[in-house]
Amino acid sequence: MAVPERVVTNADLEKLVDTTDEWIVTRTGIRERRMAAPDEALTDFALPAADRALEMAGVAGTDVDLVICATVSPDRIFPATSCAVQDHIGALDAPAFDLSAACTGFIYGVALGAQFIEAGRARNVVVVGGEMLTKIVDWTDRATCVLFGDGAGAVVLQAAAEDDRGVMGYALHADGSLGDLIERPGGGSRAPISHEMIDAGQHHITMRGNETFKKAVRRLAEVSEEALAGCGLEPLDVDWFIPHQANRRIIDAVGQRLAVPEGSTYVNVDRYGNTSAASVPIALDELNRAGRIQPGQTVLMTAFGSGLTWASAVVKW
Ligand code: ACO
């Protein structure tokens, strides 16, 4: 993982919008988030995250044959941020593309990378999940600006030597009929960049938070069960549950429905806020570097986001 140095606390936000630390903590569980500097962009974090993942895996960048970057807040609309990662790590001529599935993007990327490996079309795949959402939120909208943070995380996928290790299964879903629950309406071909579009604030994230909340709880629990069942597992078999870190109340409600073992759910939303596609890989890296995931343990990663999209992956570590 790689995150900005600057920590923005709820007390800092109290000076910006009509909010309180008490409201933010009670409704979301968020206490602070990381925020990129004005001159920092996604590649300032996506590149070091990829470097650190390769170093940990002991894989040379020149041996990488596919780069996927999940993001909805790239450096530029095009070319893809993954191409900058590919160039930086020296994965000469390897295919590279960005994947747009908002908060679910990293899990979509892991599933896709695993497919390339299973099909024998790639040996070493780098999957990055990264966002700079503080660059695209409306800093006058208290309902959204308190929620998001910046950062990136990355993994290296390789074929496992044993059959019972690695990405054991996944379940991926979307429902495009609910695309307007969380969106950034301006800047694309529907509402191209113009003074009018910007004056209307369409270049910012908009979200119908309450409706999103209800959908999130149900879908996160369902898709987790589906991915586990596909591997012949039950929630009680999970050693580590890494849910998308959007809101502590969503995580708790999903935990009640899913019945994973006590103490198996990892939570860091208090320190990072919602980092969208980066949230699962940041949590995974924190757990792993702390030595808390043991070889052979079952890790369940589940996310939900704009699209709507939702997905879950089961990994035998
Ligand atoms: N400080 C103080 N009051 C606030 C704030 C704030 N920061 N934000 C909203 N309020 C007010 C509202 O104006 C409203 O006031 P009113 O009753 O006078 O109208 C009141 O608090 C309640 O607002 P709700 O939106 O109903 O609050 P809710 O309990 O639903 O919490 C939240 C809002 C935290 C956004 C919650 O709905 C949520 O977490 N939703 C899910 C978000 C999510 O998971 N997104 C996922 C993906 S993001 C992506 O894909 C990029």
The pLDDT tens digits for 228-284 are: 999 999 999 999 999 999 999 999 999 999 999 999 999 999 999 999 999 999 999
Q: What does the pLDDT average to over 166-182?
A: 97
Residue 226 C-alpha to ligand 1 middle, in angstroms? 29
Q: Tell me, using a 6 A CB cutoff, whether residue 305 lines ligand 1.
A: yes
Amino acid (one-letter) located at 174: A
CA separation, residue 13 to residues 4, 17, 19, 22, 207 (Å): 17, 6, 7, 12, 19
Length of the chain: 317
Instruction: With a cut of 90, say whether residue 160 has pLDDT above it.
Output: no
Record the pTM. 0.96
Q: Tell me, using a 6 A CB cutoff, whether residue 167 lines ligand 1.
A: no
Q: In what order do the strands lie in the sheet with 240-243?
A: 166-174, 309-316, 298-305, 240-243
Q: Smallest Cα–Cα separation from 272: which of 133, 76, 71, 93?
A: 133
67-87 tens-digit pLDDT:
999 999 999 999 999 999 999
CB 85 within 8 A of CB 67: yes
CB 250 within 8 A of CB 221: no
User: Ligand 1, closest atom to CA 131?
Assistant: 51
All domains in the chain, ordered by first residue:
7-158 (3.40.47.10), 166-316 (3.40.47.10)
Residue 45 C-alpha to ligand 1 middle, in angstroms? 28
Please tell me the distance from the alpha carbon of residue 128 to that of residue 199, in angstroms, as a whole number: 33
Q: Which residues are 124's β-sheet partners?
A: 158
Residue 217 C-alpha to ligand 1 middle, in angstroms? 15
Q: What does the pLDDT average to over 31-58?
A: 98
Please tell me the distance from the alpha carbon of residue 74 to that of residue 304, in angstroms, as a whole number: 19
